[in-house]
Amino acid sequence: MPRSEFAKKTLLGVVPADSPFYAFHPVTRLTLLLVLSVAPMFIDRPEINLAIIATTFGLFWWGGVRMSDLKKYRLLLVTVALFMFIVAYLAPGEKAQLTPVSLAGLTLYWEPMRWAFVSYVRLMAMLFGAILYFSTNRERDVLVGLRTLHLPFPVSYVAGLSLRSAGMFMEDFATIREAEQARALDLDALSLREKVKLYTMYTVPLFAVALRRADEISAALYARGYTLSGQPGTGGKRTDYLRDKFVVRARDWAVSLGLLGTLVVIAIVSRTTSVFSVQSSPLIAFVEQLLGIG
Amino acid sequence: MSLLEVNDLTFRYEDGTPALRGIDFTVEEGEFIALIGQNGSGKTTFAKSLAGLLRPTTGRVVVDGIDTARKGVIKELVRRIGYVFQNPDHQLFNNNVYAEIAYGPRNLGIDDPERDEIVREAAAVAGVREALFTEHPFFLTKGLRQRIAIASTLAMRPKAIIVDEPTTGQDYRQSAEIMNFLTRLWRDEGHTIIIVTHEMPIVAAYAQRVVALCEGRILLDGTTRDVFARPDELRRTFVKPPQVTRLAQAWGDPAIPSDVITVEELVDGAVSSIAGRSSHSPAGISPGAEPASPRGPGREV
Amino acid sequence: MNAIELNGVTWRYEHAEEPALVDVNLAISEGEFVLVIGPNEAGKTTLVSAIKGLIPNAITGVLKGDVLVFGDRVESIKPPVLAKQIGFVFADPESQFTALTVEEEIVFGLENVGWPRETIGERVEWAARITGVEDLLDKPPYDISGGQKQRVAIASVIAMQPRILILDEPTAMIDPLGKDLVVRICAELKNDHDMTIVVVEHNIEAFAPLADKVVMVNEGRVERIAPPREIFRDLDHLLARDVHPPQVTQVFGRLRERGLYHGELPLSDEEGFAGWRTLLDGAAR
């Protein structure tokens, strides 16, 4: 069947068939992931995390990711936001030490709300960094990146095998759901309690399929001469054909070191100054002024 | 009213891949149909859409008057059309055979003692011995698990049953058993049977009507003989007719109908051709030089 | 020296009461193409697993007798070395595809065996070309069809250029023309590369024309070993055992019974056509 020429499939969705990102070695792209997910941890000030998110989106666009593919994360964003704010509302902590605010008849406490907002923005920055990575890297790129960092082959292989199994698992799960439906199980008509009970019913076929596959996979591995250590039959070092197809270029060094350097600077600045703290945030200050807080 | 009516059915997977591209199709009660076509032609997607397991992206599938796209109709659909999956492991949910066969009726709200009766009846029809009722399905042979799956589907008393690859991986005897069993359901109990398969000799021996899919569309739809009489079109969906049909077509002998589909038919045809010849003294016959056989190859479908 | 030898092999799976193989004696010469047939659970897969060394190395049970590959006992050969000598293609293309792209899958065995980069590159190109998967190298397993997966499985095994290739029901999940492609690949491997090939199949029609020997297995025993035309001669005996020779063979067998045909039993469409011409020429006199 003719498939989309634009994108290649991955477990999580698609990646663009062509992208400026691919000019960089997978390990460089892995470094980008590292920096985008770790940097926000040092930053409280929401404007800066928002700027990081904006940069990430800029990278989405530059990398050729189809923006419409990102729509599927909308629900996640809303759910997490609701969750965090509800927690902040219900469990504010020591009320005596907090600043109450009256809003639409409800008494909210400012500090937990502020914390929820700051944390939410930080979380979104980290999340979009990860989404950017998985939207521009296929499973093979992930593993090549890790192996370039000298992750031992068996670890990388087991990771790959897990990904592959996860993929098969998802397909099996979908088929099992259809099979349940074919036995008159109407999911829409079930109560929540019944739905939960249902999930235990899935375990029987899932285990059956998984057990049989495990048997078959281990036989297949044996048949291709795989030994647990990953050591080749001739002794010596295992050739890593795929990894060696990728070459680390000058631009990879430049970008990776630049990114890592930026991360180090951010870490230092956050520890030694208050540039990244909430107190330095004009946005927060503005909101506090609106609410009439000190 | 037809049992199954399909209007302009299209189906796309979540990632946008098109699987079915505008299919119109009708099934009357009491038919025995084989769905054929290459890997990836959409056979299984089509079969699942017929059973209401997949909702159309556009178009309609109506089973015995019920639109499969409506909400809350699953229990109604399942009483009319059952689906047996290719891999028994995907559809065995319980720890013993009895509970497995009873699962469908339980979901339909049928209680004992009626349910118990139904289970025993379905098991008997499917050839699952009551001695197996307490066994865990996982440890039984594949053929047996497949029959338990069929029994579990029969227990919901559908008018029509779709079976995905009934004979794959089975040896000759097991294949014959399953196909004879489906034939009995069809002929003696009036069920409508639809099978999805790659095995053309099975299609030739058991199906009345053959539907060939190619790239999400119906390529051919007709009687078994009509469809196998069109080998060039069948090639487009990576299918070829059974060997005896191919031989008859290649030989092009006027005394042998080109729509033979069994060994016996070809032998009979060959015998009468030879008998006809020995009383004359013709030169050797070359293939294709003779006109088409008296019975005629496929009419327009 | 035979490529494969089984001497008095008896095997019982760990939790089974009855042995799955009983006193099997079999010798296969290098370059032979052997078709293994018989009902399900007769022991066919067990038999080829024993040749590959899956039994007893990867599966638990009790083994008596010897399995020799080029004169060496299979149990004593280390997996990477054995993988270079014997390749094994399983029936289910899905679960033997463990890598994340087709290329990685083909490369996997080669890395296990210890080949250097250049060799790996050549072998990948060769194997992909023979099996027709060159355009698929970059694709992940969930983006290709069952028939393509099976060809990838074959490619990943033959890339190691084993001297012996075993295929266990390789065409079960594939459409009719796809099955033909697998047969053509086997023919090329046999004719151009002198591989010893053992195929377990229900689809006798596809492989019978290629086979030098047919091994009939029933209830754990090897009942008969003979070239295909010999084995298919006694039609009624075979049908009683639920073994169905190719339709063309059956047709000409019946014609021979009636005294209308006196030549060799055909095994393929082409031989059937030739047989028909012979028959007509005979009838014309």
Domain ranges of chain A: 1-150+249-294, 152-231
φ and ψ at C42, to 5 degrees? -85, -20
Q: Which pLDDT score is estimated for C30?
A: 93
Chain C residues 234-273 within an 8 A CB cutoff of chain A: none
pLDDT at A228 over 70: yes
Do C117 and C139 fall into the same domain?
yes
Give, as one character, the DSSP assignment of residue B160.
E
Q: Residues near A86 by Cβ (< 8 Å), separated by ≥ 6?
A: none
Do C161 and C103 fall into the same domain?
yes
Report H helices in A183-294. 192-223, 241-245, 250-272, 282-291
Q: Which pLDDT score is estimated for B286?
A: 44
Q: What percent of chain C has pLDDT over 70?
A: 99
Q: What is the CA radius of gyration of chain A?
A: 24
Q: Residues near B181 by Cβ (< 8 Å), separated by ≥ 6?
A: B126, B127, B150
What CA–CA distance (Å, rounded) separates C215 from C222? 7
Residues B180-229 have pLDDT tens digits of 989 999 999 899 999 999 899 999 999 999 999 999 999 999 999 999 99
Domain ranges of chain B: 4-236, 242-301
Do C213 and C110 fall into the same domain?
yes
Mean predicted confidence (pLDDT) in A57-62:
92
Q: Which pLDDT score is estimated for B169?
A: 77
Confidence of residue B297 (pLDDT cuts 50, 70, 90): very low
Which of C245, C261, C277 is where one domain is finished?
Answer: C245
Q: Which of A2, A172, A211 faces B90 most closely, judged by CB atoms? A: A172
pLDDT at B285 over 50: no
Q: Which pLDDT score is estimated for A93?
A: 79
Average per-residue pLDDT in chain B?
87
| Helix/strand/coil for C48 | helix
Q: Which pLDDT score is estimated for C105?
A: 93
Q: Residues near A264 by Cβ (< 8 Å), separated by ≥ 6?
A: none
Do C267 and C184 fall into the same domain?
no
Residues B197 and B167: beta-carbon distance below 8 Å: yes
Residues A117 and A46: beta-carbon distance below 8 Å: yes
**Domain harbouring C173, CATH code:** 3.40.50.300
Question: Side chain identity at A122, as an amino acid letter?
Answer: R
pLDDT at C148 over 90: no
Question: Side chain identity at C162, as an amino acid letter?
Answer: P
For residue A210 the two structure tokens come to: 């998984």
pLDDT at C275 over 50: yes
Confidence of residue A294 (pLDDT cuts 50, 70, 90): low
Whether A8 and chain C come into contact, CB under 8 Å, resolves to yes
As to burial, measured by CB atoms within 10 angstroms (0-12 exposed, 13-18 middle, 19+ buried), residue C104 is: buried
Q: Which pLDDT score is estimated for A74?
A: 86
Residues B166-175 have pLDDT tens digits of 988 788 888 8
Measured between beta carbons, the chain C residues lying within 8 angstroms of A243 are none
For residue B217 the two structure tokens come to: 């569309």
Tokens 């999580």, located at residue: A12
Which of B86, B93, B194 to mutate: most A Cβ within 10 Å?
B93
Average per-residue pLDDT in chain C?
90
Residues C106 and C127: beta-carbon distance below 8 Å: yes
Confidence of residue A4 (pLDDT cuts 50, 70, 90): very low
Do C128 and C45 fall into the same domain?
yes
Bridge-based pairing state of the strands B192-196 and B160-164: parallel
Number of domains in chain C: 2
Whether B290 and chain C come into contact, CB under 8 Å, resolves to no
Q: Which of B143, B239, B277 faces C40 most closely, judged by CB atoms? A: B143
| Helix/strand/coil for C45 | helix
Fold of B4-236: Rossmann fold (3.40.50)
Do C38 and C137 fall into the same domain?
yes
Q: Which of B39, B250, B270 faces C273 most closely, judged by CB atoms? A: B250
What CA–CA distance (Å, rounded) separates B43 from B49? 10
Q: Which pLDDT score is estimated for B195?
A: 97
Q: Per DSSP, what are the bridge partners of residue B34?
A: B195, B210
Q: How far is CA B9 from CA A161, B2, B47, B160, C28, in A?
A: 38, 16, 12, 20, 54
For residue C165 the two structure tokens come to: 């290739």
pLDDT at B288 over 60: no
Quick one: three-class SS letters along B172-239?
HHHHHHHHHHHHHHHHCCCCEEEEECCCHHHHHHHCCEEEEEECCEEEEEEEHHHHHCCHHHHHHCCC
Residues A162 and A119: beta-carbon distance below 8 Å: no
Query: Out of A48-62, A114-128, C81-95, C209-223, which region has the weakest mean confidence (pLDDT)?
Result: C81-95
Do C211 and C275 fall into the same domain?
no
Q: Per DSSP, what are the bridge partners of residue B76?
A: none
Q: Distance (Å) from the C-alpha of residue A233 to the closest C-alpha of chain C?
A: 5
Tell me if B263 and C243 make a contact (CB, 8 A cut-off).
no
pLDDT at B53 over 80: yes
Q: Which pLDDT score is estimated for B170?
A: 81
Quick one: three-class SS letters along C204-257?
HHHHHHHCCEEEEEECCEEEEEECHHHHCCCHHHHHHCCCCCCHHHHHHHHHHH
Q: Which pLDDT score is estimated for B32?
A: 97
Residues C62-98 have pLDDT tens digits of 999 999 999 999 888 888 888 889 999 998 888 888 8
Measured between beta carbons, the chain A residues lying within 8 angstroms of C112 are 224-227, 232-233, 238
Residues C210 and C271: beta-carbon distance below 8 Å: no
- Picking from C130, C129, C156, C158, the residue whose alpha carbon sits closest to that of residue C141 is C156
Residues A137-177 have pLDDT tens digits of 988 888 899 889 888 888 888 888 888 888 888 888 888 98
Instruction: Give pTM, 2 decimals.
Output: 0.84
Residues C204-248 have pLDDT tens digits of 999 999 999 999 999 999 999 999 989 998 888 888 877 889 999
pLDDT at B165 over 70: yes
Q: What percent of chain B has pLDDT over 90?
A: 60
| Helix/strand/coil for A156 | helix
Q: Which of C52, C104, C143 faces A223 most closely, judged by CB atoms? A: C52
Asked whether the ipTM of the predicted complex exceeds the cut of 0.90, the reply is no
Measured between beta carbons, the chain B residues lying within 8 angstroms of A186 are 72, 74-75, 107
What CA–CA distance (Å, rounded) separates A243 from A27? 10
Mean predicted confidence (pLDDT) in A282-290:
85
The boundaries of the domain holding residue C126 are: 4-245
pLDDT at B107 over 70: yes
Measured between beta carbons, the chain C residues lying within 8 angstroms of B282 are 284
pLDDT at A80 over 50: yes
Q: How far is CA A227 from CA A143, A213, A230, B58, C156, in A?
A: 19, 19, 5, 51, 17
Residues B112-143 have pLDDT tens digits of 899 999 999 999 888 889 999 999 988 888 77
Q: Which pLDDT score is estimated for B52?
A: 92
Measured between beta carbons, the chain B residues lying within 8 angstroms of C244 are 172
Q: Higher confidence at residue A250 or residue B298?
A: A250
- Picking from A81, A180, A64, A167, the residue whose alpha carbon sits closest to that of residue A127 is A81
For residue C104 the two structure tokens come to: 């990685």
Measured between beta carbons, the chain A residues lying within 8 angstroms of B93 are 179-180, 183, 201, 204-205
Residues A115 and A46: beta-carbon distance below 8 Å: no
Residues B213 and B41: beta-carbon distance below 8 Å: yes
Tokens 């397909």, located at residue: A171
Confidence of residue B24 (pLDDT cuts 50, 70, 90): very high
Q: How far is CA B75 from CA A242, B51, B78, in A?
A: 51, 12, 5
Measured between beta carbons, the chain A residues lying within 8 angstroms of B158 are none
Report H helices in C73-175. 79-85, 102-113, 117-131, 146-158
As to burial, measured by CB atoms within 10 angstroms (0-12 exposed, 13-18 middle, 19+ buried), residue B284 is: exposed
Confidence of residue B281 (pLDDT cuts 50, 70, 90): very low
pLDDT at A236 over 80: no
As to burial, measured by CB atoms within 10 angstroms (0-12 exposed, 13-18 middle, 19+ buried), residue A2 is: exposed
Q: Which of A4, A176, A212 faces B16 most closely, judged by CB atoms? A: A4
Buried-exposed string A227-248: b where 16+ CB fall within 10 A, e elsewhere: eeebbbbeeeebbbbbbeebee
Residues A28 and A266: beta-carbon distance below 8 Å: no
Query: Out of A12-26, B149-163, C151-165, which region has the weakest mean confidence (pLDDT)?
Result: A12-26
Confidence of residue A107 (pLDDT cuts 50, 70, 90): confident
Tell me if C58 and A222 make a contact (CB, 8 A cut-off).
yes
Mean predicted confidence (pLDDT) in B24-48:
93
CB-side exposure of B210: number of CA atoms within 13 Å? Answer: 28
Q: What percent of chain C has pLDDT over 90?
A: 53
Q: Residues near C173 by Cβ (< 8 Å), separated by ≥ 6?
A: B39, B168, B198, C91, C92, C93, C146, C147, C150
Whether C257 and chain B come into contact, CB under 8 Å, resolves to no
Q: Which pLDDT score is estimated for B140?
A: 87
Q: Which pLDDT score is estimated for A108?
A: 78
Residues A229 and A127: beta-carbon distance below 8 Å: no
For residue C117 the two structure tokens come to: 């980069």
Confidence of residue A5 (pLDDT cuts 50, 70, 90): low
